[in-house]
Structure 1
C-alpha cells in the first residue's frame, strides 16, 4: 500500500485560489457536466450502433441530438483500471490501478485496491473550480477507510456500490452512502448460485429493494438539490453487468421464443435465470430508461442547453465460459451481436474488449446528428472536462488531449503520442495504437509464448490479418515508445516487462 505526500494538497489549495480569482470576474454560468458510464456494455448493444434486438430509445435519441464517436476506447478492458484511467487522466502505463485487485482489508466486500492520496481526480479539479460533485453507482477505486474513498477523492456525495463484488447482485445487503454502509435488503440475494435441477424462477432471486432504482433516485435528487449551481454528476451505473436480475416488466416485453429450452442454471457463474436472453436485453433497456430519467430531470429544470451529457461504457461485453451456449452469467453476446462484429470480449485488448459506444449531447456546442471517426480514449476526458469547467490542471503529466474541437465540429486535433493499454490481468496484455496501426502483445504474465501482433484498423477493424511480420520496424517503434514511457507500478508488476528497454 502506498503512502500519501503533501503534493496534492498544495496543488488543490493553489487551484482553489485560482478559481476564486476567476469567479471575481463576471462570466457566463459554467456548464453542468453529466458523465454516464455503463458497465460491460458492448460496442454493438445500442440501436445507434447497429443493435437490432434490444430497445434503447433514450440513448439512441441522445445520439440523434448530439455526437456519436465511432472509435472511442476505454482506458482498460475491465472495471477498476478503466475507472482509474477515467478519473485520473493517466493511461494504463502511468495509472496507479492496472488490473482488478481487492484491497484485502478483511471484510466480505472489502472494496478494490485504493488509489493513493497523491492521485488527482477529475472530481477534485472540478470541485476546486467551483463545481458541486456527486457520484452514484459503482466506484471500485478503494474502500471508505482508505485513501481511495470517493469522498476522499473529490466527491461531495457518493451513493452506490463501493466494492465491485458487492455489485454482483442487484439486491445486495447494503449500499454505501458517503462513507457509511446502509442496509437496503433484510433478505439480500448473493451474486453467485447454481441450480442444477428443478424449475428456475426469476422471482427466487429478488428482494425488497432493487439497487439501480435507489441509485437513480439519489442521482435525480442530486440534480434537484444543485440545479442552481454548476455540478459534476458522475453516474457509473451497474447495468448490464451480470448477474441477470432485470425488472420483470422489461423481461415481459421481449419474445418468449428467444429462450425456449435455454434455462440458465448458473453454470457459467452468477445467478440462474429462466429467460437469460430476455433478461439480459431487459437490463440494457432498464439502463436506457434510467438515462431517459436523467435527461428528463435536466429538461424539467431547464438545464439542457447548458449541460454536457456523455454516455459510454467501461469495457466490452462479458466473455464466454465453460458452457459454450452462454457467456458469463448467462448472457448470449453472439445472439445480440454485442461486439458489433469486433474481435474479443471484456478482458481483451482486441477491439471488442476496449472499443466502446460513446455519445455526447451538448446543445450549446455540439451539432445534432454528428459523427466522428477520430480515435479517442478515456484519458482524454480529464483534459476535456477540466477545460470545459475552467479547472486548473494538475502539475503531473496527463495522457489525454482536449476533445473540445471534436465536440464543436472543428478541425480534429493531432494526438502527440500513441494510445497505450498496459493491462495486468488476463495473462498480462499490452496494446499500443498510433494512427490506424495497433500493436498487441499477450501472455506477459505467464510462460506462454509472447509475440507482437499488428493490425491496420483502417482496413481491418476486425483484426483478422496480423501484419507484424510485414512491418517489424513499426512494431519495434511502438514497443520502444511503450517501454520508454511506462512507469513501473510495484502494486501491479509485470516481471517480464518492468525495467526493460526491449522484449527481445
Structure 2
C-alpha cells in the first residue's frame, strides 16, 4: 500500500465512525462550498442513478459516503436560464435571463446581453462573508466584459464564456444569423484575458480539474466557494475527453466524457481528504439540465434520463430533474437519500445562511434554505408550495408536492407531451407513483387540478407568461455600445 493510499484508508476509516446512516448531523459552521455543474448530463447517466453502461466508481463512493437527492430540479431545460438560477437564486424569468430578442433562449457569442450587474450573485453574498470565490469552467451568462464572472463576484475565472459548441466553424455556417460570421475561435479565458483560441476541447475536463485543485490548494487556509461548471458531456453529438479516457467506455464519446468526469470528482475528493478539508467542505455534484437523448430510446449515445420521461431542452422531468449527490463527511449522512423537491435556486440562500450571512431584503429571491434537508434534520420537508416549469416565456407546468400539472395551453415548441399547436389538454401526473409520467389522472383528481391551476395563475401574475409581463420581473443586462468578440488580440 502506497503512503497516499494508506493516508486515504486511515482518513476514511476515521470518518466512517461519524457518518453512520441514521444519525442526525449538526449544521456545520462556515463550510467551504464546491458545486460541480456538469453540462447536459442525464438523470440515468451515472451508476448511483441507475446507469449500467457507464463506470462511475468515484460517484458511487460519493453516494455511499454522502446523500443522494432524487428530486433535485433545475429551472430550465437549457444552459443560460438554468445557470442564471443557480447564480442568482431566482427563476430566470425573474432576472430576465430566459430569452432575449437577439439570442433566443441561450446567449450566443458577441451578444449585447448578459446577467444584469445589479443582480446579487451567490459569489457576491459569500464574498461579503470573507470567502474566496472562483469559477472554473463554463460561464454562459454574458461574454462582454461587463458581464464576465470577475464583474459578478468571482475573484478568479478560468474557462469558456459560453457553450463549447459555439465555435467559429459553427458561426460560419450560421452566416448573418446571430452574427455567426463574426464568431471568434472558441476562447479559453483566464479572468478577462483570452489565453487560448481555439481552446483544446479534448483537454478541458483534465485542465479544469488540475486548475481547480491548484486553486483549492492555494486557498485551503481560508473559507472558499468554487463553482465548477464542467464542459462535458456538453452540446455536441460527440463529446470530448482526454487521451486517457477516449475510446475506453462502452458508450462511445458520451460515455468517455462521463467516465472522465467521474475521475475528476474522485481526484477532488481525494485532495480534500489529504488536505484535511473533507469535513469542512460541502461538495455538490449535479447537472445544468437533462440529456438531449436520441429518438431511439435504446440508443444511449446522447445520454439517458431513465427512468424519467422526456429529453433535455423541454419541460419534462427528464429535462428539469437532474442527478445530484452531496458529500461532506461527518456532516452529510452517509448512504442516505432525500426524495423531497429542492432546486438549484436553493443554493444561494443555503450557502449564504451557512456562511453566516443574510439574504438581501430589497428584492425577491425564489430559493430557500435547504440546509435542514442536506443535513438530515428531523422532520425537514420541501420548502416549495409550488414549483414552475417554463419553456422560455411560456408557463407549461406547475408542481406541488407529488403532483405535476401540464396546463391546458396552446403548446409552443419544447412541450414534452404535446406537439406544437396541438389542442390544449390538461395533464396531471403523480411523480412518485408514476415516475415515467405515463398515466394522466387529471379526470380523477379535479380538486388537485383546480388547486394547481390557481398556483399557476399566481406565477403568471408574478413571473409572467407568454404575452403577459409579470409584476415581479427584473431586467436583463445590456451594454450600450457594440459588443466585441473575445479574441486573443483584444
TM-score range, shorter chain: 0.7 to 0.9
**Does the alignment pair 1:98 with 2:87?**
no
Match of 1:7 in 2: none
The Cα of 1:159 is off from its aligned counterpart by 1.0
User: Bigger relative contact order, structure 1 or 2, given CA contacts below 8 A and separation 6+?
Assistant: 2
3-state SS of the aligned residue for 2:145?
Answer: coil
Match of 2:39 in 1: 39
Match of 2:59 in 1: 59
The structure-2 alpha-carbon separation of the partners of 1:499 and 1:366, relative to structure 1 and needing over 3 Å to count, comes to closer
Match of 2:80 in 1: 80
**Does the alignment pair 1:359 with 2:325?**
yes
The structure-2 alpha-carbon separation of the partners of 1:247 and 1:167, relative to structure 1 and needing over 3 Å to count, comes to farther
Aligned mate of 1:177, from 165, 171, 190: 190
The structure-2 alpha-carbon separation of the partners of 1:447 and 1:340, relative to structure 1 and needing over 3 Å to count, comes to closer
Aligned-partner Cα distance in 1 for 2:285–2:101 = 26
Aligned mate of 2:364, from 380, 397, 413: 397
**Is the 8 Å Cα contact of residues 453 and 468 (structure 1) preserved in structure 2?**
yes
Aligned-partner Cα distance in 1 for 2:405–2:135 = 35
Which runs of structure 2 are paired with 1:90-169 in the superposition (5 Å)? 90-99=90-99, 109-110=109-110, 113-146=113-146, 148-164=147-163
**Does the alignment pair 1:30 with 2:30?**
yes
The structure-2 alpha-carbon separation of the partners of 1:209 and 1:458, relative to structure 1 and needing over 3 Å to count, comes to closer
3-state SS of the aligned residue for 1:36?
Answer: strand
The Cα of 1:342 is off from its aligned counterpart by 1.3
3-state SS of the aligned residue for 2:244?
Answer: helix
Match of 1:461 in 2: 435
Q: Deviations over 1:75-125 (max 9, x none)?
A: 211111111111111124534212488669xx9832584111221111110
Q: Deviations over 1:344-377 (max 9, x none)?
A: 0101212111111111011231111111111211
**Does the alignment pair 1:483 with 2:457?**
yes
Aligned mate of 1:251, from 246, 249, 261: 246
Aligned-partner Cα distance in 2 for 1:239–1:213 = 11
Aligned-partner Cα distance in 1 for 2:166–2:269 = 24
Could you list the runs of 5+ residues in structure 1 that have no partner in the other structure?
Answer: 1-27, 189-206, 256-276
3-state SS of the aligned residue for 2:442?
Answer: coil
**Is the 8 Å Cα contact of residues 111 and 140 (structure 1) preserved in structure 2?**
no
Match of 1:281 in 2: 255
Match of 2:483 in 1: none
The range that moved more, 447-456 or 230-239, is 447-456
Count of matched residue pairs: 416
**Does the alignment pair 1:218 with 2:211?**
yes
The Cα of 1:221 is off from its aligned counterpart by 1.7
- The two structures have a TM-score, normalised by structure 1, of 0.75
Aligned-partner Cα distance in 2 for 1:85–1:354 = 12
3-state SS of the aligned residue for 1:250?
Answer: coil
The Cα of 1:482 is off from its aligned counterpart by 2.6
**Is the 8 Å Cα contact of residues 164 and 235 (structure 2) preserved in structure 1?**
no
Match of 2:220 in 1: 227
**Does the alignment pair 1:318 with 2:284?**
no
Aligned mate of 1:423, from 391, 409, 434: 391
- The two structures have a TM-score, normalised by structure 2, of 0.77
Aligned-partner Cα distance in 2 for 1:422–1:359 = 25
Aligned-partner Cα distance in 2 for 1:416–1:173 = 39
**Is the 8 Å Cα contact of residues 432 and 482 (structure 1) preserved in structure 2?**
yes
The structure-2 alpha-carbon separation of the partners of 1:352 and 1:82, relative to structure 1 and needing over 3 Å to count, comes to same
Could you list the runs of 5+ residues in structure 2 that have no partner in the other structure?
Answer: 1-27, 169-184, 413-419, 472-490
Match of 1:407 in 2: 374
**Is the 8 Å Cα contact of residues 75 and 81 (structure 2) preserved in structure 1?**
yes
Aligned-partner Cα distance in 1 for 2:339–2:283 = 19
The Cα of 1:209 is off from its aligned counterpart by 6.8
The structure-2 alpha-carbon separation of the partners of 1:380 and 1:285, relative to structure 1 and needing over 3 Å to count, comes to same
**Is the 8 Å Cα contact of residues 428 and 440 (structure 2) preserved in structure 1?**
yes
The structure-2 alpha-carbon separation of the partners of 1:97 and 1:250, relative to structure 1 and needing over 3 Å to count, comes to same
The Cα of 1:390 is off from its aligned counterpart by 1.3
